[in-house]
Amino acid sequence: MIKLFLALLVGGSLFAGELLTLQPYRSNEFSPALGQTFSIPFILKEDAKVKIDIYTPDNNLIKTLSGDMKKGERSLTWDGKDKKGSVVPDEAYNIVVTAQNSKGSEIIDPRKTGGVVLKDLHTKIDKFGNINYRLSSPARVLVRAGIENGPMLRMISNWVPKNRGKIRQRWNMRDADNLVDISTLPFGITVSAFTLPDHTIITTNNKKTDYYTYFKQNNLSCNTLPKTEQKLKRDGQPISKHYYMCRIMDRDPRLYLTLPDAQKNDQNLSVLHNGKQTLVKVSMHPEDEAILEKSKYEVSFFIDFEFASEEELGYMPIKWNFMPNALSEGKHILTVNVSSFTGQVGLKSYQFVIK
């Protein structure tokens, strides 16, 4: 007989069945790229064969640990490698545990926990520009920097898995295109987070492979819940819509911005003139365009971080006829934001000269 235990919490951190109880981790994080291993602890109430399946955040099985165990406090150890022997990229990996003996079998699956929007992150920016916040649980974190009532200028952390506790997010206070020190402007920082599933394992320090590349190279799939099963509340708590999104789909699009008809000066900057119209062309990386093609999005233009124009189109490339007017001689910055209705924001800034 097989019994399935889905997110049966005991004391807020334990998952318990009749044969096996999962124990809390000392830490949810380790660095297989640095040779570290991760122990998954549990208590067996009877002798049993234990199998732990390890899944990507998009529910692709990448590794299975197993062993015949005596009753008592036991563990299985993961070296952070997949079934091909490759070190996995930095991400958050989920487990499903099966215990079986002559009396039957049971499955403990925590994957449908998580997704709860975290509040009261106590976000502060210190005098060095570091962004400090606190996570009560392991979570995915989004950190953005932009101008108040203006454009978004920098994606600092794009739903990156973080362990619980005090977090210090370091950044150089520059925009994504390294054109301006954002701290000299009336800027704002937003930090958003939602909890990871219980018993998630976070891997770090893989400098060779990112998750997007790993996903493509291994022909993985987006095995997310169908929309009919996606709930935006659980036990009265709000669930982030990003919790249900495939990780490679939930990323900001890469943009390209050109002024194809403008002349260049000796610094390779486009030279524009007040009262003379010039064409601005915005395009998107084909991979990202394919991701967003089913989503509506709006395109906003800013000159020196002040709103200039907006288009609600939902297709690329887009062309905008820009007419500089009463701009002072010298350097200026044109910024474009492409904002999808599912929360992604592409951004690009471009420096030009008025003569």
DSSP secondary structure, 273-297, as one string: -TT--EEEEEEE-HHHHHHHTTS-E
pLDDT, tens digit, 9 for 90 and up, residues 114-130: 999 999 999 999 988 89
Q: In this predicted structure, what is the pLDDT of residue 127?
A: 85
Same fold, 2-109 and 255-354: yes
How far is C-alpha 47 from the chain's CA centre?
40
Q: In this predicted structure, what is the pLDDT of residue 292?
A: 80
Query: Domain ranges in the chain?
Result: 2-109, 124-244, 255-354
Q: In this predicted structure, what is the pLDDT of residue 12?
A: 36
Torsion sign (Cα): 259, 286, 212, 107: positive
Candidate CATH numbers 3.55.50.30, 2.60.40.4070, 2.30.30.100, 3.40.50.300; the one for domain 2-109: 2.60.40.4070
Residues 6 or more apart from 353 whose CB is under 8 A from it?
A: 265, 267, 269, 270, 271, 272, 330, 331, 332
pLDDT < 70 positions in the chain:
1-14, 314
pTM above 0.85, yes or no: yes
Q: In this predicted structure, what is the pLDDT of residue 14?
A: 56
Q: Does domain 255-354 have CATH number 1.10.260.30?
A: no
